Amino acid sequence: MNIVVPVKLVPDLVEELEINDDGTDLERDFLSYKINEFCDHAIEEALQIKEAHGASVTVIAIERDETDKVLYTALAKGADRAVKVTGVDEAATTHTAAKAMCTVIAGMDYDVVMTGVQAADDRDGQLGILLAGYLGVPCVSVVSDVSVSGDTLTVHKEYSGGMMARYEVTPKIVLGVQAARQTPRYAPVSRVRQIMKETELEEVLVGDADVDVGSTVRRMYTPEKGEGAEMLEGSSEDVAARIAQLLNEKRS
């Protein structure tokens, strides 16, 4: 089974996000990117399938600041192939990213495409579902429990309240992965370094993926903190005392 995992890099939400001067996008100059956490789960689930059933895993990412590191890390974790897609604008919409991924993946011999269910910058929809549309294959997203038996896969799509729907799917198929069966593994830094020395990333230039998404951002902004919390200040003892007081009032 050939599994392709297109991953998204997204701004690190731990860092402060600033808006650009015309107020229509993030200020991208000093933005630090990291792998979308759900894409990390997609890699893990693909590797789990590889280990249980045998499969080849190809990880693909669009070039950003940290892409090399993300791809080398995927190889260090056990992926067989890593491909860097160049020529796609940093501020590209998810439609454009999906179209670019489609251009690369359509020519590959794949059975299953697994990607993160969503990403922090999905203003115009989710990569997996859009990609499936461009590839002309079906997609099941919000998937968390994948098993393989012969040519078919059984997947679980999560609803709310812990309810799930079980589907049987026949490749070619795209899966939007919510959570891998175990927490994504870490790759030892020494292993990543070694891979970096030994391997050269494959690169594919995709220059003409631009999709007109039919909408434009008028205004991007940080939500008003108006109705926000009353912040409790002081030492941790002071804050603890104040919280204890609030809780006791509420309990009595």
Ligand X SMILES: Cc1cc2nc3c(=O)[nH]c(=O)nc-3n(C[C@H](O)[C@H](O)[C@H](O)COP(=O)(O)OP(=O)(O)OC[C@H]3O[C@@H](n4cnc5c(N)ncnc54)[C@H](O)[C@@H]3O)c2cc1C
**Among the candidate windows 51-59, 69-77, 104-112, 151-159, which touches another protein by CB under 8 A?**
151-159
92 vs 117, beta carbon nearer ligand X: 117
176-235 positions binding ligand X, by CB under 6 A: 178
Cβ neighbours around 62 below 10 Å, total: 24
17 vs 205, beta carbon nearer ligand X: 17
Task: Say whether residue 215 binds another protein (CB under 8 A).
Answer: yes
Which one of 100, 142, 146, 195 is in contact with another protein (CB under 8 A)? 142
Cα gap 205→15, rounded to integer Å: 30
- Give the DSSP H or E segment for 93: none
For ligand X, how many residues bind (rule: CB under 6 A)?
4
Task: Say whether residue 169 binds another protein (CB under 8 A).
Answer: yes
Window 23-42: contact mask with another protein (x via CB under 8 A)? ---x--------------x-
User: Which residue is listed with tokens 């008028």?
Assistant: 218
Which one of 9, 46, 117, 209 is in contact with ligand X (CB under 6 A)? 117
- Nearest distance in Å: CB 199, ligand X: 31
Task: Say whether residue 118 binds ligand X (CB under 6 A).
Answer: yes
- Give the DSSP H or E segment for 7: strand 2-7
32 vs 86, beta carbon nearer another protein: 32
DSSP string, 143-183: EEEEEEETTEEEEEEE-GGG-EEEEEE-SSEEEEES--SSP
What's 22's DSSP letter?
T
Q: Which residues contact 158 (CB under 8 A, 6 or more apart)?
A: 142, 143, 144, 164, 178
Question: Which parts of this chain interact with ligand X (CB under 6 A)?
Answer: 117-118, 142, 178
